[in-house]
Amino acid sequence: MVRHGETDWNVQHRVQGWIDVPLNQKGRTQAKKVALRLQNEHIGAIYSSDLKRAKYTALEIARHHKLPVKPTKLLRERNFGKLEGFPRDEYRKVRENSGIPYHLYKPPGGESYLDVSKRTRKFLAEIKKKHSNQAVLVVAHGIVIRVLISLLTKSPLEKAHEIEQHNAAVSVIELKRGYPPKVHYLNSTEHL
């Protein structure tokens, strides 16, 4: 799993969600660096969020593997509804003032972590059917990757927000039938 490169809204600490913010220059450089890090990996398929910040990152990686990028809405970032574009500090105050647990809070018109979990479960079910015994690269967003990590490692969703995910970070989880998931990397950024 790879989080997309940096955007101006990451720098400005704004809530992005489904707003289709492109990578900035640093983000495009990060995409190239993560692509070089992964160039010798044996990847069987590449899936990406359909938002341009993730797709650009995925396309940089795909160049080294001669594989198509399969964009999907199932990997989109959490929808923050009417709070998209808000400074993260303001969003945090609204969420805290709601008194609703972190993973259950749903911004007006948006999604909770639980909603993202339901969406990403559908994605994982598709992947298991189509790509058993293959390494699958997923290029997505911070919250989606946190939720995927929680699902794959059977960690509590209530704790997913505590999993760090930097821009262009790599996380690798190995799944073998009959064995517990093996975490090789979480939020690895030494390539940057």
Phi-psi category of residue 82: left, alpha or beta, with phi > 0 → left and psi -120 to 50 → alpha: alpha
Whether residue 184 lies in the annotated active site: no
The residue type of 79 is: N
Whether residue 4 lies in the annotated active site: yes
Q: Using only C-alpha atoms, what is the Rg of the chain?
A: 16
Closest CA to 86 of 98, 94, 77, 96: 94
> Strand 182-188's sheet: what is its strand order?
69-72, 45-49, 136-140, 2-3, 170-174, 182-188
Catalytic residue among 64, 141, 184, 191: 141
189 has which bridge partners? none
Q: Which long-range contacts (CB under 8 A, 24 or more apart) does 85-90 make?
A: 85/9, 85/14, 85/15, 85/19, 86/14, 86/15, 87/12, 87/13, 87/14, 87/15, 88/13, 88/14, 88/15, 89/13
Structural tokens at position 36: 């070089």
Active-site residues: which are they? Answer: 4, 141
